Amino acid sequence: MLQRLEGKSAVVTGAGRGLGAAVAELFSQQGARVAVSDVDAASAGATASRILDSGGEAFGLQADVTSEEDAERLAALAVERFGALDVLVNNAGIASAGTVCEVTPEEWDRVMAINLKGSYLCSRYAVPHMARAGGGSIVCISSASGVIGQQAQVAYNVSKHGVIGLVRCMALDHAADGIRVNAVCPGVMRTPMLDALSAEQLDALEAMHPLGRIAEPEEIAEAVLHLAADESSFTTGGVFLIDGGLTAM
Ligand SMILES: NC(=O)c1ccc[n+]([C@@H]2O[C@H](COP(=O)([O-])OP(=O)(O)OC[C@H]3O[C@@H](n4cnc5c(N)ncnc54)[C@H](O)[C@@H]3O)[C@@H](O)[C@H]2O)c1
């Protein structure tokens, strides 16, 4: 049976753990060659090793999405190693809590730099390669927080709203280049991002979702795969809530 990403090469940011690692591994299972990047070199290497051990093609790369130099190198290396860059997943992100009075200007800048500017920078250097090759697919990981307001999450929430704006603008600007751009908005997922939460806080998050639980990262990765693959060839500028019904209330 033909795999869904047969012959494609992909860059996934923040792929050392959590959703990024799940996406990188699923992409490989579906035939993609994967550039596994993360600000943490060891975890990027570990994800790449798991892919290689299971017979896939991948390399690990330390790249900070807030660095223009790293973003440029990431796209260039994928093209150099794989001959093309067909899919970019802007996944790297950090959590942040607090109201406008509580979040410091430094924390605000850090959240915007990683969650929003990082997606801009990585896209900026991927788009020309994709356009030259006749097209590609960019998937940005926003959040259910990107479509609703929330209390005491202001920097994170605004950064994820910004990602949706970036997706819509890039979809319009690069449709003629054959580049599709879409956003995936997960509800709460069981990843190391939640490690700091208590059992009671986790229970409350589970109860908040109409499906009565939080997502496994693999469930969100399936949506990312669909948007990366040619099966979604008429889908661009879309905002896809994969949130267990959270925002339906
Ligand atoms: N976990 C959730 O409940 C949840 C819900 C909705 C959306 N999201 C979004 O999903 C994406 C993945 O989150 P996750 O839950 O897997 O988080 P995670 O913390 O488990 O993993 C994030 C990865 O990003 C990497 N990273 C952090 N800063 C980076 C930088 N500057 N450059 C490159 N890599 C960097 C980290 O090293 C880590 O490997 C994020 O964009 C997050 O905002 C998460």
Q: Give the side-chain half-sphere CA count within 13 A for 191.
A: 26
- The alpha carbon of 176 and the centre of ligand 1 are apart by a number of angstroms equal to 31
Spatial neighbors of 226 by CB under 8 A, at least 6 apart, are 232
Confidence (pLDDT) at 155: 98
Higher pLDDT, 185 or 249: 185
- CA nearest ligand 1 atom 24, residue: 14
Q: Which atom of ligand 1 is least distant from the CA of 189?
A: 3
H helix intervals, 135-242: 154-174, 199-208, 217-228
pTM of the predicted protein model: 0.99
Contact 164, 139 (CB under 8 A): no
- The alpha carbon of 192 and the centre of ligand 1 are apart by a number of angstroms equal to 8
Percentage, residues of the chain above pLDDT 70: 100
Pick from 13, 36, 39 the residue to mutate for probing ligand 1's pocket: most ligand atoms within 8 Å of its CB. 39
Confidence (pLDDT) at 116: 99
Confidence (pLDDT) at 113: 99
pLDDT, tens digit (0-9, with 9 covering 90-100), for 131-151: 999 999 999 999 999 999 999
154: buried, middle or exposed (CB in 10 Å: 19+, 13-18, 0-12)? buried
- The alpha carbon of 107 and the centre of ligand 1 are apart by a number of angstroms equal to 16
Closest-CA residue to 114 (of 193, 30, 22, 210): 193
pLDDT, tens digit (0-9, with 9 covering 90-100), for 78-91: 999 999 999 999 99
Which residues are designated catalytic?
A: 156
What's the pLDDT band for 2 if we cut at 50, 70, 90?
A: confident
DSSP state for residue 91 in the 8-state scheme: -
pLDDT at 165 over 90: yes
pLDDT, tens digit (0-9, with 9 covering 90-100), for 108-131: 999 999 999 999 999 999 999 999
pLDDT at 1 over 90: no
- The alpha carbon of 87 and the centre of ligand 1 are apart by a number of angstroms equal to 18
Q: Which atom of ligand 1 is least distant from the CA of 65?
A: 32
- Report the chain's mean pLDDT, rounded to a whole number: 98
Give the whole-angstrom CA distance, residue 219 versus residue 243.
10
Pick from 12, 19, 184 the residue to mutate for probing ligand 1's pocket: most ligand atoms within 8 Å of its CB. 19
Closest-CA residue to 144 (of 117, 184, 112): 184
Domains belonging to the chain, first-starting first, are 9-243 (3.40.50.720)
Q: Which residues line ligand 1 (CB under 6 A)?
A: 13-14, 16-20, 38-40, 43, 64-66, 91-94, 114, 141, 143, 186, 188-189, 191-194
- The alpha carbon of 203 and the centre of ligand 1 are apart by a number of angstroms equal to 21
Confidence (pLDDT) at 106: 98
Q: Which atom of ligand 1 is least distant from the CA of 92?
A: 24
Confidence (pLDDT) at 12: 99
Confidence (pLDDT) at 239: 99
Q: Mean pLDDT, to the nearest integer, of 228-244?
A: 98
